[in-house]
Amino acid sequence: MRAIQVSEHGGPEVLRCVEAPDPEVGPGQLLVRTQAIGINFIDTYIRTGRYPTSLPYVPGSEGSGVVTAVGPDVTDFQVGDEVAWAAAPGSYAEQVLVPAEVAIPVPEGVKPEVAASALLQGMTAHYLIESIYKPQPDDAVLVHAGAGGVGLILTQLLSARGVRVITTVSTDDKEKLSREAGAAEVLRYEEDVAARVRELTGGVGVAASYDGVGASTFEASLAATRIRGTVALFGAASGPVPPFDLQRLNPLGSLFVTRPTLAHYTRDRAELLWRAGDIMHAIADGILRVRIGGSYPLAEAERAHRDLESRQTTGSIVLVP
């Protein structure tokens, strides 16, 4: 089979398409023929060495496909089932061994590209608004990277609940996408974002700031959030936030700040199925639209990473074997 392999940490050029042995299914596993593979910013962090991993390795953890073999002790799935996953290392490949405990059934009518890209970003949005801070109708919130994968999902889910969503974007095209998703106001990064948010909220600030950008937006997130509000720093697309003195949170309004990760919010099968099920059914029912901003052949993983890191993409992007 073909797979993408990384033999050294570095830029997108280290992503090489190679011939690899076909995997053999074992206990507790599904062998899946991939139909689409999700690409996420965390893949770039691991590729560059920001998150340590052993070399060589096959990147990726998210995808969708059709089960071709099941382990001897697996009873919940069978050959021919369509499944998706967000926690199966080595997903940049034509065949993937997926632990049955992390596999999610794909509802009828959900396309493979959508299923492959919806889980990690969708469940991230889910834990942010269900478990970190659950906005109430008429709350105002700030969502950075409003035209990104998580940003578009957050905006749709929140606006459907009557929450006033303020987003940040970098271009006219991204502003259009963010507004179509339900954003009430869209700001540009080059503005004084905190001042504009305060102006738009009558000086109060937002109930929560959902920040997946990191270094370049974190100060604005702090300054834009109301007294006893929540800042959820769930990503670092622009780089990690430098260490800062927790005492600063007092004069800023006794803020709550968290740096969560999806793994801690899908700690068991029941929690995983709750979050994934809500997202998949929202898609199947037409409540949530997952934008596929780019589809790349597996062999062009390098180009996909370059586009992602240069912020040339919108929504979600996928590899297709």
Q: What is the DSSP string of 231-275?
A: EEE---TT-PPPP--GGGGTTTTS-EEE---GGGG--SHHHHHHH
Same domain, 133 and 111: no
Q: Looking at the structure, do residues 296 and 250 belong to the same domain, yes or no?
A: no
263, 282, 304 — which closes off a domain?
263
Give the count of domains, the chain. 2
Whether 58 maps to a domain, the answer reads: yes
Check whether residue 175 and residue 71 sit in a common domain: no
pLDDT of the residue at 311: 83
Enclosing H/E stretch for 83: strand 82-85
In a domain, 308, yes or no: yes
293-314 confidence digits (pLDDT tens): 999 999 999 999 999 999 888 8
Last residue of a domain, one of 244, 263, 282: 263
Residue 162 lies in a domain: yes
Range of the domain at 217: 122-263
User: How many alpha carbons lie under 13 Å from residue 4 in its C-beta half-sphere?
Assistant: 28
On whether both 181 and 109 belong to a single domain, the answer is no
**39/140 same-domain check:** no
Provide the residue count of the chain: 321
Q: How far is CA 142 from CA 109, 183, 230, in A?
A: 32, 10, 10
Angstrom CA distances, 69 to 26, 32, 74, 269, stand at 9, 7, 10, 21
Q: Which residues does the chain have with pLDDT short of 70?
A: none
At residue 315, the pLDDT reads 86
The CATH number of whichever domain residue 62 belongs to comes to 3.90.180.10
CATH (domain of 183): 3.40.50.720
* In a shared domain, residues 238 and 138: yes
CB 93 within 8 A of CB 58: yes
Reduced to 3 states (helix: H, G, I; strand: E, B; else coil), residue 146 is coil
The conformation of residue 79, written as its DSSP 8-state character, comes to T
Whole-number Å distance between alpha carbons of 103 and 70: 12
pLDDT of residue 32: 99
Q: Quick one: pLDDT at residue 295?
A: 97
Asked if residue 98 belongs to a domain, the reply is: yes
Residues 170 and 112 in one domain: no
Cβ neighbours, 10 Å, residue 27: 9
Choose the final residue of a domain: 221, 246, 263.
Answer: 263
Domain assignment present for residue 207? The answer is yes
Q: Is 80 helix (H, G, I), strand (E, B) or coil?
A: coil
User: For residue 135, what pLDDT is reported?
Assistant: 98
Residues in a beta bridge with 231: 209, 257
| CA–CA distance, 100 with 71 (Å, rounded to integer) | 9
CB 295 within 8 A of CB 277: no
- Residue 280 falls inside a structural domain: no
Same domain assignment for residues 133 and 222: yes
**β-strands 225-233, 256-258 pairing:** parallel
Whether 207 and 127 share a structural domain: yes
Strand order in 185-188's β-sheet?
Answer: 185-188, 164-169, 140-143, 206-211, 225-233, 256-258
How far is C-alpha 6 from the chain's CA centre?
22
Burial 44-75 (b: 16+ CB within 10 A, else e): bbbbeeeeeeeeebbbbbbbbbbbebbbeebe
In this structure, are residues 189 and 167 in contact, taking their beta carbons and an 8 Å threshold? Answer: no
